[in-house]
Structure 1
Amino acid sequence: MDRECMEFDVVVVGAGPAGLATACRLAQLAKQHQLDFTICVVEKGAEVGAHILSGAIFETRALDELFPDWEGLAAPLDTPVTDDQFCYLANRFNHFNVLHALLPNTLKNAGNYVISLANLCRWLTQQAERLGVEIYPGFAASRLRYNENGAVTGIVTSDMGLDKQRQQKASFEAGIELKAKYTVFAEGSRGHLGKQLIATFQLDQGKQPQHYALGLKELWEIPPERHQPGLVIHGIGWPLNQTGTTGGSFLYHLEHNQVAVGLIVDLNYANPYLSPFDEFQRLKHHPKFSTYLKGGQRIAYGARAISKGGLSSLPKQQFAGGLLIGCDAGTLNFAKIKGSHTAMKSGMLAAEAIFDELQQGNSQTEPDYQRRFNDSWLYQELNESRNFGAQIHLFGELVGGALATLEHNLLHHRMPWTFKDKQADHRCLKPIDQYKPLIYPNPDGILSFDKPSSVYLSATHHEEDQPCHLLLADEQLPVRNHLSLYDEPSQRYCPAGVYEIVTKNGHPRLQINAANCIHCKACDIKDPSQNITWVCPEGGGGPNYPNM
């Protein structure tokens, strides 16, 4: 097929904090040395920020380095943390606040900001464009390109205008080949090209499996008398403790009478009846949360996977022709419940490594990222927190949290041990004969809601007549194996109602409602047989988050 081809010095895949930091830093270095590099960022969302979802509490460390005058440049950091609470939700009604002295220092938020990460990415886009970076939203990177030596030479964007049978419609437009001397992959957690690169170059050889959580979030507008700008609440315990599942909850007060409320569910859970979406809806009825939400209006909903394995799961990030950065690699510091500043720093280090190669006239070589990473505060931070996630998985939240407090507050990171969780999340699901079904209350339409109305608030849109982007290796396996073993868990772990078992003439089958997909990647991660592969739909499809 004939395709249009465009050539750049550097192509960045993904306009999140990591990708945009890469583009900005590389453009800054080129300007400082009076060099002219062509830099392109492609983003699958309809606009920059459309697919960005995060809590978010933001630490400015990387931003301070990238744009020291970010306040003068009107960065959207308007709400400093004013009150930082951490609580244990004992049951449906009761909770107690945990003294700060008993918390790991990593969980304290003095000096941080409550932000919309989507709005920060939109601001970073403005800075990148002022530096001469070309940014193309609505273009999904669907395939990798390699040269005869196996080095990455760029990407191909998705074809537009194919029907469900992959036949060309009247509106067909072939994807564009974007060639680059170096390609940077910053797709976010469980990026589909990043997944391929890890397998092709064996970047995770000898590493602990990556671990994930599913973060579910809603944005609410609440009455002014209940709003406390800068109030941050984190919680553990109920409702997940009733099923032996780990994770945590949050409620952040932003500006303009808005609050972000959410639940993070570790995807190593065992109970096949568990529904992260319904656990989230239950959470909001706890008095610690309902106190603020009652009388308010829900205005947005979304969900997204989180890479939380830390340093022990971090793959090699460099390969011939490019780099894998940010949450695509897994740089989040879960001990802080923060990944934006670490993603940005990984992008800045990537820019410096690529700049050195370009300055020497090289192309498709392996950038020397690892040395810079090892010498950076990013490595130090991830190394100091390397045990946090594994401790929680292995010992539970209370004992694991106590060990984290010992390491961070008393031993001051001078611990000779490294805990590892070597069991992949999808292998943790157990058969239904070991559990009783979980009965979730019906939504009340005031604090709790159903999936269809939630997906509506995500503003998700896909062209209906296009190839399904959720691929089954074995189409019969969900009914043949999973239905009897796990009651087909995709019906519950998907937070958007994409998967359902329907029966026709007495025969069940798995129906995929791909148009509902909010690109969270839970199915690609949690399917117990790894039978589902998420690939990019047409560019511009998916959620369209406002300021999540």
Structure 2
Amino acid sequence: MEFDVVIVGAGPAGLSAACKLMQQAEAAGQELSVCVVEKGSEVGAHILSGAILETRALDELFPDWAERGAPLNTPVTQDQILLLHNQQRALKLPNWMVPKTLHNEGNYIISLGNLCRWLAEQAEALGVEIFPGFAASEVLYREDGSVKGIATGDMGVGRNGEANDSYMPGMELHTKYTLFAEGCRGHLGKELYQRFALDRDADCQHYGLGIKELWDIEPSKHSPGLVLHGTGWPLSDGTSGGFFLYHGDNNQVVAGLIVDLNYSNPHLSPFDEFQRLKHHPALAQYLEGGKRVAYGARAIAKGGFNALPKMTFPGGLLIGCNAGTLNFAKIKGTHTAMKSGLLAAEAVFEALRQGDSGGNELLAYSERFKASWLYEELHSSRNFGPALHKFGQVLGGAFNFIDQNLFGGKLPIRLRDNVPDHAQMKQAALCPRIVYPKPDGVLSFDKLSSVFLSNTNHVEDQPCHLQLLDPDVPMQHNLPRFHEPAQRYCPAGVYEVIQEEAGKRLQINAQNCLHCKTCDIKDPAQNIRWIAPEGGGGPSYPNM
């Protein structure tokens, strides 16, 4: 199939780009064919974020978003920042001590999945073709090496690699330009990074694992618009991260924990740290008497400005979290992803309007990016993450207060952090074991019951999409050195060490996979490769 533009991923970046392309075509009276492929069973099925939305990019795309019925129903009314000293005590920071980037006046508590569903409706009304349930599995190249599109994966292939009765071959989508908006650690994006050396001049990317739950709580405990952020207990021993609890609409709150994936103790389990966190009175006061109704997890790219790759290559662009545009100083990536999509759409449309036949490198995108508020915002917070990594939460937080509040992010220094997250892990024998309390089924839960709430499902008879580059590494390398940390860093119970008569082996329960990409990031041997499973598989988040 032939299109002018193909977009991989129906997240905020991809859908914003699609809408902007068609808006420009409509204004110019020009015909344009735009296609979006989405591996989730529907738009929004794989979308997970906190989420607090800064409307800056949405205001540019649809100034009349309120009249159009955009699902922004809960404005932020109150900000609180908490430091948890231990499992009982918490200190609330006064507003003047909070970095400006963490103030949320004028923002909205939303479901990002529902915003993407709404954006998809706007895109389709403009003439965009959206194909949910089709996973982009391969990048296609022209003879000159430029990207000419993507191929979707075959469906109905058995675990043995043979076609079964439901076999349907994938499609090749040929296009003038391809926008890759797969989200954090996109598997096609990884290939493009390597093929075109896109990160050659960038610092290494850093990641966090975000775990989120949606709760129905008692109406008397609900304060629509209340935003809590915090850090401290239960994370310790140099493990950094932070929690959030947002009061949305309909007597619901979202609670979550982000654990930076540069942690060193292989005994640590981000999932169990979150379950323990919910027993702290600062969170339990809202959750007790409530009911957990949804669960999910996703890695985020938090390297910021210093880790931004070259986003242009012949025939395409990297946009959104596939390029790492999240602003970790704000703990927000939606408005930045959307803006990168708008800039990409402007650069692509200008080239096509001038008769470009495709396959070129759109250097105009880089110029637009550097002249945008997106570049300015990311540049001003370039030291935020490295400061926390280098100096810790207290001294790093003090540095960020000075940098952001007193100097507006314009201190004439640039902190660097070039040790990859997976290389930070220490040997298990050198680290204290962590004994986690058993879940009580009231505030804390086990992994399998949590995965059930994510509505995760994959066709069972298909090749495993979690590939071991060397099948011997888990037992011969990771187990003796690191007590095989995949058992603990995976928030879905995908990896288990099984004792059999012949010895121990690593079992991969791919059916449970939430597509969070943590294994692809944190495996100390970098031996796990995440590839797209059959389209439509994975979680099916209703309103995360």
Q: TM-score range by the shorter chain?
A: over 0.9
* Aligned pairs for 1:104-503 within 5 A: 104-240=99-235, 242-362=236-356, 363-367=358-362, 368-503=364-499
Contact kept, 8 Å, 2:102 with 2:329, in 1: the verdict is yes
Which letter does structure 2 place at the counterpart of 1:258? Q
Q: Distance in 2 between matches of 1:517 and 1:286?
A: 29
Query: Percent of aligned pairs with the same residue?
Result: 61
1:23 maps onto 2:18 in alignment: yes
SS of alignment partner, residue 488 of structure 1? coil
Q: Distance in 2 between matches of 1:211 and 1:238?
A: 22
Which letter does structure 2 place at the counterpart of 1:244? G
Q: Distance in 1 between matches of 2:211 and 2:529?
A: 21
- Give 1:64's aligned residue: 59
CA deviations 1:322-342 (Å, max 9, x no partner) are: 000000000000000000000
Which letter does structure 2 place at the counterpart of 1:293? L
Deviation at 1:503, TM superposition (A): 1.1
4+ residue stretches of structure 1 with deviation over 6 A? none
Which letter does structure 2 place at the counterpart of 1:464? E
- Give 1:3's aligned residue: none
Which letter does structure 1 place at the counterpart of 2:510? A
Q: Distance in 1 between matches of 2:511 and 2:239?
A: 30
1:96 maps onto 2:91 in alignment: yes
Deviation at 1:413, TM superposition (A): 2.4
SS of alignment partner, residue 330 of structure 1? coil
Q: Distance in 1 between matches of 2:31 and 2:94?
A: 54
Q: Distance in 2 between matches of 1:217 and 1:81?
A: 19
Moved more, 517-526 or 98-107: 98-107
2:542 to 524, 540, 546: 546
Q: Distance in 2 between matches of 1:70 and 1:461?
A: 34
Q: Distance in 2 between matches of 1:199 and 1:232?
A: 40
Deviation at 1:418, TM superposition (A): 0.3
SS of alignment partner, residue 65 of structure 2? coil
- Give 1:526's aligned residue: 522
Deviation at 1:506, TM superposition (A): 4.7
Deviation at 1:304, TM superposition (A): 0.1
Q: Distance in 1 between matches of 2:182 and 2:123?
A: 18
Contact kept, 8 Å, 2:265 with 2:432, in 1: the verdict is no
Q: Which runs of 5+ in 1 are unaligned?
A: 1-5
1:49 maps onto 2:44 in alignment: yes
Contact kept, 8 Å, 2:87 with 2:234, in 1: the verdict is yes
Which letter does structure 2 place at the counterpart of 1:307? A
Q: Distance in 2 between matches of 1:206 and 1:68?
A: 37
Q: Distance in 1 between matches of 2:410 and 2:262?
A: 28
Which letter does structure 1 place at the counterpart of 2:348? I
Q: How many matched pairs?
A: 542
SS of alignment partner, residue 510 of structure 1? strand
Q: Distance in 2 between matches of 1:237 and 1:15?
A: 35
SS of alignment partner, residue 446 of structure 1? coil
Deviation at 1:437, TM superposition (A): 1.3
